[in-house]
Structure 1
Amino acid sequence: MSLPPPIVLSFAASDPSGGAGIQADILTLAGMGCHPLTVLTAVTVQDTTGVEDIFVMDPEWVIDQARTVLQDMPVQAFKIGMLGSVEIVAAIAEVISDYPDIPLVLDPVLASSRGDMFANEEVISAMREMLFSQATIITPNSIEARRIALDHEDDLEILNLKQSADQLLQWGCSYVLIKGAHENTPQVVNVLYDVNGIVRSDAWQRLPGSFHGSGCTLSSAIAASLAHGMSITDSVYEAQEFTWHTLKAGFRPGMGQYIPDRFFWMESDNLEEEADGSDD
């Protein structure tokens, strides 16, 4: 018997399209050599064009799901996605507080890429108060970073991204990675901050198309890298590289957005094997 792979526990909503949410986490974690554990926070009705409805789980069910698997298996990282309610924020905060040494990646999913809202101001406030201080890294896009940092949505353009990161760090997280896909820049620039300022900045070629689940992929990939024992800076870079390649290999299975191919590397391996075989 071989040793088990690193184990990552993801708290997230179910996406029946397989593009985002818990399904994206499972595919990403498996694609990066981890064993995924899953705790459902909500069930959604959605496809690649958008979200039609959300059923939020009872917080006691969230706690029971998590406690059951955590009593059975040790985990090397936590990842949190869509939360759904203040009560679920409190439930998850209670669970993870018992594991202060386990790295936590928090992806503050506030809306779908189409703009369907997942979190109101009460949920955002609860995240700030109960989860940020427990997070190793928070991974908002630029829109989410500004919205979380400010109390009033009308003021979103006032803060620059450095100011937004500074505000998020004041709530206690160790690192903030602000994703720049929504910024008007030639390349996508993702910047990692800590209390001392910029830790690293990485620029990536913008790819054509609109993608469903890119944020879930990136945050899960960071969790996977941390579970493998990488440093935070190396984890952030490796996760970005993995995510960019999933987007480059993305496919459009339906009438809406493209879905990242989290097993892009299998196609590359197959091509290499075919090439090797042709030399025989």
Structure 2
Amino acid sequence: MPVPIALTIAGSDSGGGAGIQADIKAMSALGVYAASVITALTAQNTCKVHSIYPVSTHFIQDQIHTVFEDLDVKAVKIGMLGTPDVICAVANAMNNYPDVPIVLDPVMVAKSGDKLLQDDAIQSLKEHLLPKATIITPNLPEAAELTEMKEPTSLDEMSELLQVFKKMPIKSVLLKGGHLGGDTSDDLFFDGQADRCLSGLRINTSNSHGTGCTLSASIAAGLAKGLPLIEAVTQAKTYLSNALQHADTLGVGKGHGPVHHFHAFWPKEG
């Protein structure tokens, strides 16, 4: 049987912890061949995003079409897009592949606090890409921006915000509750019909760079394997939790280090 193939459309992280690099690592660790389309280059490390160099919309579309004309892509993850023009370019290119499931991670801010999505791009994202996505995976600040609501500070407020998402033209959403704090990390999942709370133990580590990218890429990997959406989501959460549990063993960088994508393969600590 041929290996399942997933495509990540996102920005490059020169520090290797997030973006395209995290997506490829996560997909590979989960047994999926990863193809990539780079939307922007960043000079970035675990402490900051120093600068961003955009890729032309023509070249972004050329990358997408070139991958699809040769590879049997079974799922797509979309991450950092940056500008309205890039969002429209990706949306227009994906019109040619309507049957391929899309995991949309609405990347707006890096772990360092640096902004990765222009303010005028949010409406473009809502109009052109949210309706195409099989699932969107916003964290709480991103969800607040998308819904024009205040950022939730409790699980009850998360539930209220989820009701707003249900009225938007989306198919499904994984509302990530990591910003709430507490002993557990509770996500709310709505599959278009019913919602449920997916709770996990909070991992005490500051090395969480690339968590959002890793989770969305892992969901795309599950979909590429043919898993039902809820199974792809739950397996992705389990993988990310394990990657966070082993993150402190890497010792990469002086800031927020990356999660350990290859925790199951590299030699165990001790």
TM-score (norm: length of structure 1): 0.89
The residue number in structure 2 matching 1:278 is: none
CA offsets 1:120-176 (integer angstroms, 9 cap, x no match)? 33211111000011101000111111121107xxx4459922232233343322111
**1-side partners of 2:182 and 2:194: how far apart?**
21
Tell which structure's C-alpha radius of gyration is larger. 1
1:165 equivalent to 2:162? Answer: yes
| Pick aligned residue for 1:191 from 188, 192, 198 | 188
What secondary structure, in the 3-state scheme, does the structure 2 residue paired with 1:182 have?
A: helix
Equivalence for 1:104: 102
- The answer for the alignment partner of 1:132 in structure 2 is 130
SS in 1 for 2:49: strand
**Quick check: 1:200–1:233 contact (8 Å CA) kept in 2?**
no
Counterpart mapping for 1:6-25 below 5 A: 6-25=4-23
Counterpart check, 1:225 vs 2:190: no
| Conservation of the 8 A alpha-carbon contact between 1:5 and 1:35 | yes
What secondary structure is seen at the aligned counterpart in 1 of 2:73? Answer: coil
- Match 1:247 to one of 232, 235, 244: 244
RMSD: 1.8
Secondary structure of 2:23's partner?
A: helix
Aligned counterparts of 2:168 and 2:119: Cα–Cα separation in 1: 16
Please tell me whether residue 84 in structure 1 is matched to residue 55 in structure 2: no
Tell me which residue corresponds to 2:173.
Answer: 176
In structure 2, give the amino acid aligned to 1:101: D
Q: 2:257 is paired with a residue of what secondary structure?
A: coil
Structure 2 counterpart of 1:56:
54
Q: 1:136, 1:220 → 2: CA distance?
A: 13
Would the aligned equivalents of 1:211 and 1:247 in 2 still touch at CA under 8 Å? yes
**What SS is found at the alignment partner of 1:43?**
strand
In the alignment, which residue of structure 2 is the partner of 1:71?
69
Q: Distance in 1 between matches of 2:162 and 2:46?
A: 30
Sequence identity (%)? 33
Task: Please name the residue that 2:259 is paired with.
Answer: 260
Q: Secondary structure at the match of 1:76?
A: strand
Tell me which residue corresponds to 1:237: 234
Q: How many residue pairs are counted as aligned between the two chains?
A: 264
How many Å separate the matches in 1 of 2:184 and 2:160? 21
In the TM superposition, residue 196 of structure 1 has moved relative to its aligned partner by 3.9
Q: Distance in 1 between matches of 2:106 and 2:159?
A: 18
- Distance (Å, rounded) in 1 between the aligned partners of 2:32 and 2:152: 39
**Contact 1:11–1:79 (CA<8 Å) still a contact in 2?**
yes
- Given residue 94 of structure 1, which amino acid in structure 2 is its aligned partner? N
Gaps of 5+ in 2: none
CA–CA distance in structure 1, aligned partners of residues 166 and 120 of structure 2: 19
Question: Could you tell which deviates more after superposition, 251-260 or 130-139?
Answer: 251-260
- Return the offset for 1:185: 2.8
Q: Deviations over 1:86-126 (max 9, x none)?
A: 11100110111222221100000000112111113321111
Query: Matched residue of 2:178: which SS?
Result: coil
Structure 2 residue corresponding to 1:203, chosen from 170, 190, 200: 200
